[in-house]
Structure 1
C-alpha cells in the first residue's frame, strides 16, 4: 500500500514537472529593444487547436505585474475580422510593452498596461491572422463566427492545460470592434460546456467586457448613419436621403441605399472614421478611385485607410483603426528575424518571405458574416449570471456610441443606477449606467474606437473597476 502511494506521488510529481517544463519552453527572457525595467514575466508560442488540420493559434501572455497567483486571467481579442491582437491590443493599446512610435525597433513600457490588474493573454485569432496558421487551405473557406468560437475554445482549454496553475483563477474575456461577436460567442460556448463537466473541463468564467463592439447589424448601421449626421460629418440632405433609402434590417441593401451610404463613407475618407477628432497621420496620403463592386482603398488623409466592400448585401468598412504611425513601426518590428525568434514564431506560422501584417485583408474579404445579432447571446448570459460590460469611446464613427445605446435599449433591462458622470483626475471621463443582473454600459469621453490607446488612464481605471467591483469615481 505504501509502495502504491509512493509510486502515485512520484507519477504526479513527474506530470507536474512535465507541465511546468512545457510552459517554460514558451518563456521569453528578453525581446529585442525591450527596456531593462521593470521586470515583466512574459511567454509566447502556439496552441494547436485542431491536430487533423494542423491549425494553431499564436499567443502572447503577460503575467500580472504583482500577485500573479491571485489576480484574474483576462483573454483579449481584436476584431476586423482579420486584425492582430498582438499588433493592436498588446503592442499598441493595453500590453506592458508597446512598440515605440519614435525609434524603430524600440519597445517602451506602458504605464497603463492592463497586466497591472490581471494576467493577460493576447491571441491572434482566427487562423490567418498574424502568426496563426493552418496546414489545410480549405479552412479559409469556412471561417465564420462559429468556426472562430470553436477554435478559441480549443485554444483556451489547451492553454490552461499548458498553464495549469491558472485553472482556478477567475476568468474574463475581453475585446473590441468585431470581437463584439467573438467574445460573447466564446463566452456562450464556455458557459454551455461548463454544464457538461463529464465531457468538458470546467472553466471559471465570470464574465466579459467589450469595447465599441459590433453587436447587431441593424442598430450598428442605424447608429453609424445617425452619428455621422449628428457630428456634422454629412449634410442634412445626405442624412435624409440615406435614412429614406436604407432599411438596415434587410439582408441585402438596395442599390439606392448603397449609393447613399457610399456618400457617407466618402466623407469619412477625409478623416479617421475610428476617431473623428484625431489629427491625420502624415505617413498616409494615398488616394484611389472608389467602387463598391470591389474592395477599394478610399482617398484619405486620415490616420487609417478606410476600405469598403459588399458582404451579405451590406457595405463593410475594412479592418483597421489605429494610427499607422504606430502600425508602420509595428510591422517593421514583428517582421525582424530576431524578434520572431524571441517570440518562438514557427516557420509554419509565417513562411520565409511572407510579411506579418496588423490586418489580413484577404481573410476580412473571405469571412462569412452569418450572425446578424449577438443580442440573444447577451440575454442568455445575463440571465446566466455573468458580469457583462460594454464600454464605448464616444468619438468613434465606425461602431458609435449611438448604436451601442440602441442595442442596450433592445435588451429591455431594468436600470439599477441611472446615467451618471464618472471622473478621472478631476475631469469628466464619461458616463455610466448600471443595470440589474450585472450589466453596465460605460462611455469614455474623447476616446475613439481604441479606448486603451486614446485614453489609457481612463481605460485602466475602467478595467480595474470591472474586474474588482471598485466603483468608478462619480465625484470630481
Structure 2
C-alpha cells in the first residue's frame, strides 16, 4: 500500500474499497456527522455519501502500517493515533491570548477571525464579546459577504486590521462544514480583497 501514497497530499488514493470495507465494519463510532461527497486523491464524486466524515478516515489512515512506514514512523515508537487525544497530560500555562492579539494587531499585523454561526463549542457571540474586549473601533460595520451570489455569512472590519466574519451554517471547525466558502473567505482576505 505504501507505493499508492500520493506524496503531494500524503493520502492513499487507491485501495479505497478496502478502506470503505474497514469503515463499514468498524465498531468505532463516527465522530463527525459531516456528509462526505468528495475525497482528496479520489477522482470525481463518490457514488454514495458517508456519514462518518474525515475523522474516521484519518484514524484508519494514520494507524495503517504502510502509511506509518512511508512516513518513517519507527515501529513501536508511537501507539494508536487518536485525533484530539485527551489522555496526553499537559499543563495549560496561557490563561488568555488577548495580550498577544493586542500586541500583534496594534503593530499592524492583519488578522482574520471567523466563527461558524452554528458553533456550539465557541459560539460566535462569544467571539464577538472577545473582540469587543480589544476595544477597537469599527471601520466597516456588519454587512453580508457572498459566495456565488449567496449570503455566506456576515463580516465586520475593525481598526488595527482586524476582520471578523461569520460562516453561515458552519459548526466549530468551519472549513469542515463549509470548505468552499471558507476557502473563498481566506483567499479574499489573503489577497487583500474585501469579503
TM interval, short-chain normalised? 0.7 to 0.9
Residue 328 of structure 1 pairs with residue 56 of structure 2: yes
Contact 2:139 2:157 in 1 (8 A): yes
What is the TM-score with the length of structure 2 in the denominator? 0.74
Once superposed, which parts of structure 1, at least 4 consecutive aligned residues long, lie more than 6 Å away? none
Please identify which structure carries the higher helix content. 1
**Aligned position for 1:459:** 182
1:378 aligned onto 2:101: yes
Structure 2 Cα separation of the partners of residues 358 and 31 of structure 1: 25
Q: TM-score, normalised by structure 1?
A: 0.32
Count of aligned pairs? 170
**Structure 1 residues 337 and 427: CA distance shift in structure 2, 3 A:** same
In 1: Cα distance, 2:12 partner to 2:112 partner: 26
Residue 82 (structure 2) aligned to one of 357, 370, 374: 357
Would the aligned equivalents of 1:32 and 1:339 in 2 still touch at CA under 8 Å? no
Structure 1 residue matching 2:4: 3-state secondary structure: coil
In the TM superposition, 1:20-419 aligns within 5 A as 32=4, 34=6, 41=8, 97=11, 103-105=17-19, 284=29, 303=32, 325-347=53-75, 349-350=77-78, 354-363=79-88, 366-419=89-142
Q: Secondary structure at the match of 1:441?
A: strand
For residue 373 of structure 1, report the CA deviation from its aligned partner: 1.5
Q: Tell me if structure 2 keeps the 8 A contact 1:385–1:438.
A: yes
Give the match for residue 39 of structure 2: none
Tell me, in whole angstroms, the C-alpha distance in 2 between the residues paired with 1:459 and 1:348. 38
Q: Distance in 2 between matches of 1:283 and 1:340?
A: 20
Pair 1:445–1:362, CA change in 2 (3 A):
same
Which structure 1 segments of 5+ residues have no match?
A: 1-29, 35-39, 43-59, 61-96, 107-281, 286-301, 305-322
SS in 2 for 1:344: coil
SS at match of 2:153: strand
Aligned CA-pair RMSD:
3.0
| Larger RCO, structure (CA 8 Å, separation 6 or more) | 1
Check the 8 A contact 1:104/1:329 in 2, yes or no. no
Where do 5+ consecutive residues of structure 2 fail to align?
21-26, 34-50
Establish whether residue 425 from structure 1 lines up as the match of residue 138 from structure 2: no
Judging changes above 3 Å, is the alpha-carbon distance between structure 1 residues 99 and 379 closer, same or farther for their aligned structure 2 residues? Answer: farther
Distance 2:167 2:137 in 1: 22
Query: What is the match of residue 194 of structure 1?
Result: none
